[in-house]
Amino acid sequence: MELEAWHLLVIPLFFALGWLAARVDIRHVMQESRAVPRSYFKGLNYLLNEQPDQAIEAFLEVARLDPDTLELHFALGALFRRRGELDRAIRIHQSLVDRADLAQDQRMNALYGLGVDFLKAGLLDRAEEVFQRLETGVHALDALRNLQEIQVLTKDWQKAIVTAQRLEKLGCLSQNANTAHYHCELAASAMLRGETDAARAHLDQATRVNRRSARACLLLGDLEAQAGALDAAIAAWRRIEDINPAFLPIAAERLVQAYDRMGRHEQAVRLLQGYLEQRPSPDLLHLLFQTVAARQGWDAARELAAGELKRNPSLRALDDYLQASNALRPEAMEGRVESRLAQDLVHRQVSQIAYYQCGDCGFKARQFFWQCPACARWESISPERLEHE
């Protein structure tokens, strides 16, 4: 091929066009990078050097200089809440809510974030007000759950009942078990005020929403006992046998006291023996031991404890056995310091290791709670004291 003169002109032209295209790209990139505030790169640098506090300050500067960086505002709000800096999280979410140019879904997101901040900060009335504004829309379900949490914390049971109904309407799992507890709480308060009719009405409602509510049965028995109707009280407490036998240790103490008041001690002993034949229970066994000791004497009580020690050796059975032995022969024990010491030691150990425990979070308590004080679940605490090492 012959090289013509015009070819010599085309080659530099291609070079010039390539150089121009490259320059245009570089200029564009430079413009873009100048649009990003320097603080942004500073923030990134701090993050890469694992200096989160300085990084946050740099990003805050970006957010201040450029109010359009919405995602950055949301990210900072969530970050402050996670770090426990709730006043800063509240300020960021509040400033987002106050902005006039925000789209509806972003305003909802900001409002929900603000509600969670208030809840975590313990500003319950303000959190409740915010979540009530979110009862429709994408955050409706979470807002209702938080509202329920607040109403339970503030013991506003009537409102909690309404919220539970709304949750069910939105497709949440059945709220019947919780709702029965709310009615039981209202009944217990009415009983304290001496409002018998109101208490009975709340217990009726508790049983209507949860036919297997052991607590409603126990409270109904308490109500009858308060009015002196001991037969009716015993009938209510004994319904636990069918409804939920796990709660028998709680019901049995009341039953024994009622039989005692009626002078029907033997019936109390037979009832407890019957329960123990159905299910092993250290609490029921200890109650039987105390009842036998009070009504039939220490000989019978010691025999009972000795039998249990052979079948299921435990510190609690040993404690009962030593207590009966001491009561039977106090003069023999007086001279033997070591026997007394051993008994005291066992008794102290038993009182230290027997607890009610939450099956959900492991919280331990000497006293029985219907709602776990640690994880707030209802009926998650076993109604039987267990021995823990």
Q: Which region among 31-39, 43-51, 216-224, 370-378 touches Zn ion (by CB under 5 A)?
A: 370-378
Phi, psi of 137 (to 5 degrees): 105, -175
Minimum CB–partner distance for residue 148 and Zn ion (Å): 17
Site string for Zn ion, 316-355 (x = CB under 5 A): ----------------------------------------
Distance CA 222, CA 220 (A): 5
| 262 vs 386 by CB, closer to Zn ion | 386
Residue pair 271/254 in contact (Cβ under 8 Å)? The answer is: no
Residue 376 CB, nearest distance to Zn ion (Å)?
7
Map 117-144 to HEC letters.
Answer: HHHHCCCHHHHHHHHHCCCCCCCHHHHH
d(CA 84, CA 120): 9
Query: Is residue 374 at the binding interface for Zn ion, with CB under 5 A as the rule?
Result: yes
Is residue 363 within the footprint of Zn ion (CB under 5 A)? yes
Least spacing, CB of residue 63 vs Zn ion, in Å: 39
Q: For residue 47, state whether it binds Zn ion (rule: CB under 5 A).
A: no
Give the DSSP letter string of 22-65: HHHHHHHHHHHHHHS-HHHHHHHHHHHTT-HHHHHHHHHHHHHH
Contacts of 373 (CB under 8 A, 6+ apart): 363, 365
Two structure tokens written together for 136: 């429709």
For the chain, the residue count is 389
Residue 217 binds Zn ion, judged by CB under 5 A: no
Instruction: Single out the segment in contact with Zn ion by CB under 5 A; choices: 165-173, 218-226, 343-351, 374-382.
Output: 374-382
In whole angstroms, how close is the CB of 362 to Zn ion at the nearest point?
7
Of 297 and 359, the one with the shorter C-beta distance to Zn ion is 359
From the list 57-65, 149-157, 203-211, 359-367, the region that binds Zn ion by CB under 5 A is: 359-367
Least spacing, CB of residue 230 vs Zn ion, in Å: 35
For 354, residues 6+ apart whose C-beta sits below 8 A from its C-beta are 282, 316, 385, 386, 387, 388
Tell me: does residue 372 bind Zn ion (CB under 5 A).
Answer: yes
Q: Does 152 bind Zn ion (CB under 5 A)?
A: no
What is the C-alpha separation between 90 and 104, in angstroms, rounded? 19
Question: Contact between 271 and Zn ion (CB under 5 A)?
Answer: no
Note whether 361 binds Zn ion by CB under 5 A: yes
First to last CA, the chain: 99
Size of the site for Zn ion (CB under 5 A): 7
Q: Of 202, 219, 107, 123, which Cα lies nearest the Cα of 158?
A: 202
Q: Out of 214, 219, 305, 358, name the contact with Zn ion by CB under 5 A.
A: 358
Q: Which of 360, 364, 371, 387 binds Zn ion (CB under 5 A)?
A: 360
Rounded to a whole number of angstroms, the minimum distance from the CB of residue 202 to Zn ion is: 25
Q: Does 195 bind Zn ion (CB under 5 A)?
A: no
CA–CA distance from 43 to each of 15, 58, 59, 82, 385 (Å)?
A: 40, 5, 6, 19, 55
Q: Enter the tokens of residue 364.
A: 């331990």
Candidates 59-67, 253-261, 344-352, 363-371; binding stretch for Zn ion (CB under 5 A): 363-371
Among 75-83, 128-136, 197-205, 367-375, the segment contacting Zn ion (CB under 5 A): 367-375
Query: Between residues 74 and 378, which has the closer beta carbon with respect to Zn ion?
Result: 378
| Residues at the site binding Zn ion, with contacts judged by CB under 5 A | 358, 360-361, 363, 372, 374-375
